[in-house]
């Protein structure tokens, strides 16, 4: 040991979000003898470590956990009410913080809502828990060709605890989906029709619904693994590379300011779509595609009231006190290539964006509608890392070059028309016009360390998520996804992390 940290481990993991946790879980299950050190820049804000903050029943304690996740942005105004959303401007969601003014748009349209979280569990402590499978062109063709993708997605669902039955008892759910189906399903394949959203949610023995976070992904296999240790408030400042091999990480203890080297046979960086390429750049690992093909999902939102339900009997479910009610649940309008957006229709307390105040007469009758739009992939949509300026953690400052294409703008306008039609199908719309959230609001940043079938200069990692040209360095996160997607990307990212972790376990067993 070198103070707080080990001198050497088998695997060093940077980032404690769902994908970093998936690496830890698979390695704990398939290679239990490996020593694993996971480092996280933020503090532990929930119990167990990495748990979703929405599971914190006390509102003040929940708000405190969100503030503790906001890193250098703590104290800034957040989108915490429908009024704040309507006013617009640059405000982060609770639990996240924004890129500094100016850095979000070095050129083009930029990503004014580009945001991150700094806490154990990463964005997995704050996400919507929606886990749809990708469809049509969202899918990764070279993994489909080998027959791997669906098996990996199934394994991701296991780790995340995904179900479509969390809200089976929601009194308005079936009626809502029947109305949406009447407006959407004609001409669609069965898999692309309106359905329950697959959610990473489970019901406890006392009846209460609980959101999955990184704690669920880690599971008992990781927590009970004596060879696994999690170090919070620890900044990874460099991946150490020698002779083309990743051999460890340099970290700074944010409690003391002291720096340490942790040697490792394998290094995994799963720090999010902005900070993973940032750390590689800071480490002198700079392949041509690093930071490029950045893509986000433009988001159009609306709100509507489910009508004709005044006489629907709403049963009180024993033991479900907490932050989740059961009214209409979460419904899904899948992406298709013909309709290149993904829809989620959510009861208000399940939505990360407060779109309206609930109806005091018929609680739970108002739903939020959101359509996420797939982006045209462009090589010049990219992150730029400064050789001179640094961010609040002392790493190279990030600046964003990002532009919508004419096709992107046409898809957004089409989504606005479609979401109004969906709102009218639900019942009574609450607004005259839908609202397009500022770019970056989805928090689904992808492509910045994209996977490729071969090392052709247009990707950063191989199909096992190992960085081209740097043996033993693996990446995780939405940034690895190489396709343009509209669906929530976490399930796909966890599935890719499973493949990467299996590759490490297999290699470690041979040596």
Active site residues: 444
Max Cα–Cα distance, the chain, nearest Å: 71
Helix (H, G, I), strand (E, B) or coil at 157: helix
Burial of 71 (0-12, 13-18, 19+ CB in 10 A): middle
Q: How far apart are CA 171 and CA 313, in angstroms?
A: 7
Angle CA(491)–CA(493)–CA(498) in degrees, nearest 5?
Answer: 95
Which two tokens mark 228?
A: 């696994």
Q: Which of 472, 371, 349 is CA-nearest to residue 423?
A: 371
Residues 197-232: b if buried by 16+ CB within 10 A, e if exposed: bbbbbbbeeeebbbbbbbbbbbbebbbebebbebbb
d(CA 210, CA 200): 9
Nearest to 96 by CA among 63, 67, 121: 67
And the tokens for 213? 């976070």
Instruction: Judge whether 188 and 200 are in contact, CB under 8 Å.
Output: no
Instruction: State the angle between helix axes of 214-223 and 149-160 in degrees (0 to 180), rounded to the nearest 10.
Output: 80
Query: Which of 122, 215, 189, 198 is closest to 492 using CA atoms?
Result: 198
Q: What number of CA atoms fall less than 13 Å from residue 29's CA on the CB side?
A: 16
Contact, 419 vs 333, CB < 8 A?
no
Tokens for 136, please give them: 């049509």
Three-state SS across 224-248? CCCCEEEECCEEEEEEEEECCEEEE
H-only helix segments in 139-236: 141-145, 149-160, 173-184, 214-223
Query: Which two tokens mark 200?
Result: 């990473």
With tokens 């489909």, the residue in question is 144
313 touches 114 (CB < 8 A): no
Q: With beta carbons less than 8 A apart as the criterion, state whether 121 and 17 touch.
A: yes
Q: What is the DSSP letter of 480?
A: G
User: What SS3 state is found at 427?
Assistant: strand
Nearest to 369 by CA among 188, 213, 193, 180: 180
R_g over Cα of the chain: 22
């Amino acid at each position: 040991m070198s103070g707080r940290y080990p001198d050497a481990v088998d695997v060093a993991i940077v980032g404690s979000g769902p994908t970093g946790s998936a690496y830890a879980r698979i390695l704990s299950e398939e290679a239990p003898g490996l020593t694993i050190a996971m480092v996280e820049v933020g503090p532990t804000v929930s119990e167990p470590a990495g748990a979703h903050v929405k599971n914190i029943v006390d509102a003040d304690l929940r708000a405190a956990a969100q503030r503790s996740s906001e890193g250098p942005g703590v104290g800034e105004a957040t989108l915490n009410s429908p009024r704040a959303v309507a006013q617009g401007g640059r405000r982060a969601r609770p639990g996240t913080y924004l890129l500094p003014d100016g850095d979000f748009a070095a050129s083009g349209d930029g990503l004014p809502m580009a945001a991150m979280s700094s806490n154990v569990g990463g964005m997995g402590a704050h996400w919507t828990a929606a886990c749809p499978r990708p469809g049509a062109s969202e899918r990764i063709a070279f993994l489909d060709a080998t027959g791997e993708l669906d098996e990996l997605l199934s394994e991701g669902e296991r780790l995340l605890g995904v179900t479509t039955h969390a809200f089976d008892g929601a009194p308005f759910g079936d009626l809502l989906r029947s109305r949406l189906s009447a407006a959407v399903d004609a001409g669609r394949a069965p898999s692309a029709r309106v359905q329950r959203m697959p959610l990473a949610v489970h019901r406890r023995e006392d009846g209460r619904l609980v959101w999955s976070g990184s704690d669920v992904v880690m599971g008992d296999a990781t927590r009970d693994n004596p060879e696994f240790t999690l170090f919070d408030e620890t900044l990874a400042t460099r991946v150490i590379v020698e002779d083309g091999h990743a051999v460890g990480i340099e970290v700074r203890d944010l409690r003391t300011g002291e720096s340490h080297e942790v040697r490792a046979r394998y290094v995994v960086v799963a720090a999010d779509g902005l900070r993973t390429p940032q750390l590689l750049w800071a480490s002198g690992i700079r392949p041509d595609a690093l930071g490029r093909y950045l893509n986000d999902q433009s988001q159009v939102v609306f709100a509507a009231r489910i009508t004709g339900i005044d006489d629907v009997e709403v049963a009180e479910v024993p033991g479900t006190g907490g932050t989740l009610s059961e009214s209409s649940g979460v419904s899904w309008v899948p992406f298709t290539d013909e309709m290149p957006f993904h829809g989620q229709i959510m009861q208000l307390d399940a939505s990360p964006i407060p779109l309206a105040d609930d109806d005091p007469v018929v609680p739970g009758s108002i739903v939020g509608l959101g359509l996420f739009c797939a982006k045209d992939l462009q090589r010049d949509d990219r992150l730029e890392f400064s050789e001179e300026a640094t961010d609040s953690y002392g790493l190279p400052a990030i600046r964003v070059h990002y532009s919508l294409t004419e096709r992107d703008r046409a898809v957004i306008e089409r989504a606005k028309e479609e979401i109004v039609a969906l709102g009218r199908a639900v019942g009574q719309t609450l607004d005259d016009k839908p609202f397009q959230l500022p770019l970056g609001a989805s928090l689904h940043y992808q492509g910045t360390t994209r996977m490729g079938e071969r090392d052709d200069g247009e990707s950063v990692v191989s199909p096992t998520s190992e960085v081209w040209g740097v043996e033993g360095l693996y990446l995780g996160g939405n940034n690895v996804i190489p396709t343009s997607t509209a669906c929530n990307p976490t399930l796909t990212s966890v599935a890719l992390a499973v493949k990467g972790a299996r590759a490490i376990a297999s290699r470690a067993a041979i040596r």
